[in-house]
Structure 1
Amino acid sequence: MQTTITYDQAKRHVERKIGFMIHLTVFLAVNTGLILLNLQLGHDNWSVWPLFGWGIGVFFHGLSVVTHAPGNSWKQRMIQNELNKFQ
């Protein structure tokens, strides 16, 4: 089976990268604001909790973009196997 990337697949991957960059930018902006607010108020270090929790989500979002969604090739092979059955 020859794997060729189509325009739609390339477009989807670019959209996923852009989505991750937007997610990362918002994460950094919001958490910078929370840290500054925390420093301004002088309370205990509560701003680390949203940073940690949201950071886990950003990490896995980035991981899914970088690894090119490994389940996708498995899905493509299954689709190709089904198509081969009917040819």
Structure 2
Amino acid sequence: MEDDAREAAIKRLKAKRDFWTHVVTYLIVNAVLVGIWALSGAGYFWPIWAIGGWGVGLAFHAWSTFGEKPITEERIQREMRKQQGAD
């Protein structure tokens, strides 16, 4: 049981690390794209396509990392108590 909890914690920490690596990469690459845009005459703001598209992907990555919570026995019991209290 302890090993399972440890493995789950390691998996969660890796997911968080991977997400923050993704954020830093997103910021650096998009800053470079905006810099190229600015140095090339600053006409049509074409970096918005990369910023927006990649941003959507980043939002999904954030949701999968921080938004989804596994259904645990504790959460099931808490939900059952809420339902019983509402009746």
Query: Would the TM-score normalized by the shorter structure come out above 0.5?
Result: yes
Match of 1:18, as an amino acid? R
Give, in whole Å, the separation in 2 of the partners of 1:27 and 1:38.
16
Kindly tell me the number of residue pairs found equivalent between the two proteins. Answer: 68
Identity of aligned residues (%): 26
Amino acid at match of 1:6: A
- Note the residue ranges of structure 1 that are not aligned, 5 or more in a row: 75-87
What is the RMSD computed on CA atoms of the aligned residues?
Answer: 1.6
Runs ≥4 residues deviating over 6 A: none
Amino acid in structure 2 at the alignment position of 1:73: I
TM value normalised by structure 1: 0.72
Deviations, residues 13-61 of structure 1 (Å, cap 9, x unaligned)? 0000000001111000000000011011013110111000000000110
The TM-score with structure 2 as length reference comes to 0.72
SS of 2:46 mapped into structure 1: coil
Q: How big is the shift at 1:64?
A: 1.2
Which structure is higher in helix share? 2
